[in-house]
Amino acid sequence: MKLYILLLLIVTSLTAQEYTADQIIEKSMEHKTFSYDNSEAKIVMTLIDKKNKSTENRTVKIRSKKKNGLNKVISVFTGGKEINGVKFLTIEKKDSGDEQYVYYPAQNKINRIISKNSKNQHFLGTDFTYYDIEGKYKKDGIYTLLKDKKVNKESCYVVKTVSKKDSPYSKTIIYIRKSDFLPVKIKFYNKKNKYFKRYIVKETKIQDGKTIITKSQMVNTKRGHATIMTLDYVNFHAKISDSEFNKENLR
């Protein structure tokens, strides 16, 4: 009887495993906003103005490939004349900042996004910055585990992140769903430690055994502006060549 009780206590302690803030963030990195590993996807981005009205729809086709644990992502935009045909390339690096390049067809020019000021710019008029797309606040931060909270009645870990490197934010607060480690809400604070922007996951689904975000929203309360992202489709079995991620092939 004593042996049974001992085994029960061991099993209970294992099922009630606690994770560190670092482990939670590491697991959450499996879910990327602008990247689906080894796949192609199509997303519709809807820009919302101060009057809560849609001002523009933009379509982005994304192709992504993971190699040696690092992602390469190319995005091609269609929509308004300013962004029609624009291509955006991100090459994830292990020990340094991601390489980011933007091709503007009107000028037939490829720009590298490299400076701190450039990475803090809004990504093609949306409420995401180039820094957000890198997701550095989830990669290179100092993490502190806060008290659990619920988002849409689902239990979440809450992690405060402070970037070790140059960041436009003093901190971010990330709400990570316990059931699958999906970041379902992120609160952003400016350099004066004022909350001004939030990212919220609205809808998800399971496809090929993966939890994917089908609808999400970035709201900038300071700008009075929002960007809604709706997933049209994703294909996890696409044939994708390494050559697609050569910056010279952006033209």
pLDDT score at 116: 63
CB contact at 8 A, 157 and 178:
yes
Cβ-proximal residues to 154 (8 Å cutoff; 6+ apart), any chain: 177, 178, 179, 184
From 36, 32, 38, select the one nearest 240 (Cα to Cα). Answer: 38
d(CA 238, CA 63): 9
Cβ-proximal residues to 90 (8 Å cutoff; 6+ apart), any chain: 34, 35, 71, 72, 73, 74, 98, 99, 100, 133, 134
pLDDT score at 117: 65
pTM over 0.75: yes
d(CA 157, CA 152): 13
- Domain coordinates in residue numbering, the chain: 19-104+112-237
Please, what are the averages of pLDDT over each run of 10 residues along the chain (251 residues)? 47 58 89 71 93 87 87 89 88 79 91 75 85 73 94 96 85 95 95 95 92 94 93 92 89 85
pLDDT score at 32: 65
250 burial (CB, 10 Å; 0-12 / 13-18 / 19+) is buried
Pick the CATH number of 19-104+112-237 from 3.40.50.280, 2.50.20.10, 3.40.50.970, 1.10.30.50: 2.50.20.10
What is the identity of the amino acid at 24? I
pLDDT score at 17: 56
d(CA 140, CA 146): 18
pLDDT score at 96: 67
Please, where are the H alpha helices in the chain?
A: 2-15, 21-28, 116-119, 130-134
